[in-house]
Amino acid sequence: MPEGDTIYRSARTLKAALAGRSVTSFRTVLAHLARVDDDTPLAGRVVDDVVSRGKHILMYFSGDLILRTHMRMHGSWHLYRPGERWRAPGGDMRIVIGTDAFEAVAFRVPVAEFRTEATLARDDEVQGLGPDLLDPGADLAEAVRRLRALGDVPLAEALLNQRAVAGIGNVFKSEVCFEARLAPQASIASLDDATLDRVLAIARRQLRANVIEGDAARRSAWRGGRRTTGRASPSEGLWVYGRAGAPCRTCGARIAIDKHGTDARLTYYCPQCQPTT
């Protein structure tokens, strides 16, 4: 599943390409979206904004219409010039939004709904999200309160709860626990507020580092993929995620795997740097 940094970058890219442009065409294979387009056509509307909230992308059109999409495991948005060949199979297309300069195509997006400002304000999928760590105004004290309310839930599972704190996925969950030197199996109830503050600060810094903006030299250092270690080599970008059996970059112990939650999501950790007791 794309994590908060991926969704943030997607929304930023879509906004740069589409904001301020008029929609020239709209196509979809999703009947519920097609019905809205039939009743209140997208063509002629202006794309006012594109933003991310947690793992949701919200595309705002003039005339009080908002497209909410969620990528789940395999969805993605692509941008093409008109007439450019798609890099994904046409059968995976779900939505196409055309403008004079770009065509935004949603592939394999399982969740896509139109909202108005009023209905979005009542949409629990969005309004029920915890503080978004990529939002500069995120209320981290509220995030701590929501995590604390989870009680005996393991830390690794709690960090994935988007209603507690939004944006963390499986990669960052493992990386944050490692950098905090906390066992992913530790219950939220066993951690004091100062420790949860530190966990969220680490998570926020790691997420922000992966939506880096600035000069080309700094940006090029991150072209090899997601990073949490700060190391330049693409092969050394992550502390523990995906490295089961490999030596810990800090102590040399073998990276282990555990499973958490109803979906048995994998968590990678160092048993020596992150002891369970």
Set 12, 108, 145, 265: catalytic member:
265
Sort residue 251 into left (φ over 0), alpha (ψ -120 to 50) or beta. Answer: alpha
The answer to whether 265 is a known catalytic residue is: yes
The Cα 22–Cα 25 span in angstroms is 9
The answer to whether 15 is a known catalytic residue is: no
- Across the chain, the runs of DSSP E, i.e. the strands, are 25-28, 47-53, 56-61, 65-70, 76-80, 93-98, 103-107, 111-115, 256-260, 265-269
The Cα 212–Cα 39 span in angstroms is 40
Helix (H, G, I), strand (E, B) or coil at 91: helix
Set 55, 115, 173, 227: catalytic member:
55
- Non-local CB neighbours of 214 within 8 Å, separated by 6+ positions: none
The answer to whether 173 is a known catalytic residue is: no
Strand order in 93-98's β-sheet? 25-28, 93-98, 103-107, 76-80
Answer whether 51's CB lies under 8 Å from 14's CB: no
The answer to whether 55 is a known catalytic residue is: yes
Phi, psi of 27 (to 5 degrees): -135, 145
* Neighbour-count burial of 37, counting CB atoms closer than 10 A to its CB (0-12 exposed, 13-18 middle, 19+ buried): middle
Set 3, 157, 175, 179: catalytic member:
3
The Cα 161–Cα 4 span in angstroms is 13
- Non-local CB neighbours of 250 within 8 Å, separated by 6+ positions: 239, 270, 273
Active site residues per annotation: 2-3, 55, 265
